[in-house]
Amino acid sequence: MRLFNFFLGALLFLFTFFSYNALSSGVGFSSYPLMIDKKFVSLEMTGNLSSSGGVGVQGRFTQKLHSRMTLDGGIGISGGRFSGRVFAGLDYEFFPDYMKQPRFSVKGVLQNVKDGDTRKNVFGVTPIFSKGFSFWGYEGFPYASIPLAISLDGSEKSYETIANLSMGITGKIPMKGYGHLTANLEGKLNLKDSYSGLYMGLAFPMN
């Protein structure tokens, strides 16, 4: 229950400190340690607190391809200006979480985002640092990253660069009967030409 209270406290902190980044699907479960060929399907809530925003939902599929590579992809809808997105990402681990060494990986991301009446292609790269810790006997995996991206607007033949600071945590649900589920909380802070955001996800194992 203490870890459950920790997740609730973290959620309140993130909601207070962050608003929603509409040009990103989030880091998701990429930094979470999975067995090879393990598959997740997750349902995630997004909340846009900006003047042009709204709440939304997205579905994500995540699979561990081999010891260093994790694939994910999905689709999302939301209210407000950024009403839809399709995304795919591939995370490659350079250094594992070992002893005092944090895990370091880089995730490449491709998105197609609906921005008002136009669609934009977003190409991004996300360096991710993560580390497993024990919280009152339960293991959690906090992470931090700086998502960087280029958004291309084909109709106006223009582009813009995007940067965020992202922080989050993943871990098993610390409640009896729900230990097979994995939760994710993630917040993003706008650094350049973007929005700040919040993601809350719950992943269901497929195998």
| Residue extents of the structural domains in the chain | 2-205
Q: Find where tokens 């010891």 sit.
A: 67
Q: How confident is the model at residue 16, as a pLDDT?
A: 34
pTM of the entire predicted model:
0.83
| 2-205 CATH pick, 2.40.128, 2.40.30, 2.10.25, 2.40.440 | 2.40.128
Q: Per-residue pLDDT tens for 106-164?
A: 999 999 988 777 888 999 999 999 999 999 888 999 999 999 999 888 777 788 898 88
Q: Is 15 helix (H, G, I), strand (E, B) or coil?
A: helix
Q: How many CA atoms lie within 13 A of 131 on its CB side?
A: 8
pLDDT at 153: 82
3 three-state secondary structure: helix
Beta bridge partners of 42: 60, 203
Nearest CA to 186 among 60, 1, 79, 34?
Answer: 60
pLDDT at 50: 61
- How many helices (DSSP H) and strands (DSSP E) are in the chain? 1, 12
Residues of the chain with pLDDT under 50: 2-23
Q: Is the dihedral of CA 116, 107, 140, 68 positive or negative?
A: positive
How many Cβ atoms from other residues are within 10 Å of residue 134's Cβ?
9
